[in-house]
Structures are given as C-alpha cells and as structure tokens.
Amino acid sequence: MELVIRPDTEAACNLVAAIIAKAVREKPDLVLGLATGRTMERLYARLAAMHRDEGLDFSRCRTFNLDEYIGLPVEHPGSYRYYMNRHLFNHINIDPANTFLPDGMAADIKVGCAAYEKKIVESGGIDLQLLGIGADGHIGFNEPLSGLKSRTRDKTLAEPTINVNRTLFTNPNDMPRRAITMGVGTILDARSVILLATGKSKADIIAKAVEGPITSMVTASALQLHQQCRVVVDEDAATELQHQDYYRWIFDHDPDWDEYRTAK
Ligand code: F6R
C-alpha cells in the first residue's frame, strides 16, 4: 500500500484523475472499476474536462461499478446508474453498452450477482478499481463484518450509512435499505486499486484502515493485503495518520511518483 497526501481536495482529485488518464492512455481498452458518492463528483468532473479539453479517449473502455441500490429503477435520481450518467458517462465518449452496474431490479438478486461476477471475469478482470470509503470503513457497500473474501452479493445497509446517504435523496424516505455490492474479495481481485478520501470526516477512518489491524470491522483495512493499492487523501483526511512524515518522504523520493509530484 502507498499513501499520498495532497495539499487540498482539488489536488487529491487531480492526482487520481492523472493516474486514471495514464492508465487509459496506456491501455485504451482498460477495464475500470468505478465508485459513486460525494467524493467522486469532483474527480469525475476532472475526467470529463480531460476528455473535453485533452481528448482523453474512453471509447474502448469498459466500466464496472461497485454497487447499486436494490429496488430503485435506473431512472430514479437516487440510483447509481443515474448518478454515473449524470456525473461521468454523459460527459465522456464511453459506449453506454460497455458500462455495467449491478442490477438492483433483478427478479432474482442472487442470480444477478453471480452474473455480474461472471461478466467481470469475461471482461478480463478489473485493471484499475476506484474506491471511496464510508465513515464506518466500508468499501463498496461492504459494511462492518463483511467477509474479507466476500463476492458480489446483496447487503443490508448499516444505519449510519443510511443516515448519511438518505440526505442525497429529494425524498429521504426513498433511500433503500439494501444494496448489491461487489465483495471485498471481488475488489481485491482488481489488478490495481486507488482509494480517494477527502475531508475531515474521513480522517479517523483513514487512519484505522491504513494503520490499524486488518479486520472485517473496517473492510477498507483489507486493502493492506492488496499487491498494488494507492490511497490518496487531502490534508484534512490525513490529520489522524501517525506516520505522515514517512508517507510524504516516500512520495517525494519514489521515482514512480516523479511525473505526478508537480500535478496541481
Ligand atoms: C459508493 C461506494 C461507497 C462510497 C462511500 C463514501 O459507490 O462505493 O463506498 O465510496 O460511501 O461516500 P462519499 O464519497 O459520499 O463519502
């Protein structure tokens, strides 16, 4: 795992966008794992701008989202399909047929989950998985006690998650109680992973996930087992980390970060 601290939210988002853009340029048919949530909005705006201004080409990419609510039709503004269209897909040149989310309206959810896992494998596996982190340490919707080898499945959302996410609904009572999510094991199968976290509200959980023990109570801590995981935070989200000097030293000296150090 590598941890990078950027001066502010914009610089953190721009660094992650630069990593994604490089991956897309190096492998035009990249299989990209995507996340939703407030944190990603700025990042997706940056990717859309890179497409518009620099011609960043997504035409051959395929995408798999981490999760989707159960029981919300795709045209509902609270659905993650709606979010992805609004914040990213409508602004880049990706083929909509190559964008995949779990089917929260499937007649048989378990069959749908197995089909989603199969589709990922048939696509050659996820090259780069983007992640946010919930206040309880969830990645995707892998709430506390999710098995660290879990696969795509339906999950009942934890109360704190419902309380945070319901504020995004015009009618908060529309917020579903259940969702389909890639499992922790599904996420760990990605060839590389980037977790983006910004703001003071993420400081405590980032410290637990990165510097604490690997535990299913904080499913993001399982990323410590991943072979290529980068965690990008802003100063606010870094405040509870014990080893900030070490992370800054590595970022300043590791040649792998040379091209990104000056990114604003
Ligand atoms: C959503 C997802 C979640 C979010 C997390 C943080 O697809 O995977 O794990 O990344 O809940 O959400 P925000 O960014 O709204 O704090």
102 lines ligand 1 (CB under 6 A): no
Domain ranges of the chain: 2-260
C-alpha torsion angle, residues 45, 48, 50, 55 (rounded to 10): -170
Which residue from 13, 72, 131, 138 has its CB within 8 A of the most atoms of ligand 1, so it is best to mutate? 138
205 CB near ligand 1 (under 6 Å) = no
* Tens digit of each residue's pLDDT (9 = 90 or more) over 114-136: 999 999 999 999 999 999 999 99
Query: Would you name the residues annotated as active-site residues?
Result: 67, 136, 138, 143
* Atom 5 of ligand 1, residue of closest alpha carbon: 134
Residue-level pLDDT at 189: 98
Q: What is the pLDDT of residue 264?
A: 60
Look at ligand 1, atom 1, and give the residue with the nearest C-alpha. Answer: 36
pLDDT for 263 equals: 65
- CATH number for domain 2-260, candidates 2.30.30.140, 1.25.40.80, 1.20.1740.10, 3.40.50.1360: 3.40.50.1360
Segments of the chain with pLDDT less than 50: none
Q: Please identify, by atom number, the ligand 1 atom nearest to the C-alpha of residue 199.
A: 16
Torsion of CA 152, 153, 159, 164, to 10 degrees: 40
Rounded CA-CA distance 176/179 in Å is 7
Q: For ligand 1, is residue 134 a contact (CB within 6 Å)?
A: yes
For residue 222, the tally of other CB atoms under 10 A from its CB is 25
- What whole-number distance in Å separates Cα of residue 75 and Cα of residue 86? 11
Asked if residue 67 has its Cβ within 6 Å of ligand 1, the reply is: yes
Q: State the DSSP string of the chain.
A: -EEEEESSHHHHHHHHHHHHHHHHHH-TT-EEEE--SHHHHHHHHHHHHHHHHH----TT-EEEESEEESS--TTSTTSHHHHHHHHTGGGS---GGGEE---TT-SSHHHHHHHHHHHHHHTT--SEEEE---TT--STT--TT--TT--SEEEEPPHHHHHHHGGGSSSGGG--SEEEE--HHHHHTSSEEEEEE-SGGGHHHHHHHHHS--BTTBGGGGGGG-SSEEEEEEHHHHTT-TTHHHHHHHHHH-GGGHHHHT--
pLDDT of residue 262: 77
* pTM beyond cutoff 0.85: yes
**Which residue minimizes the CA distance to atom 8 of ligand 1?**
140
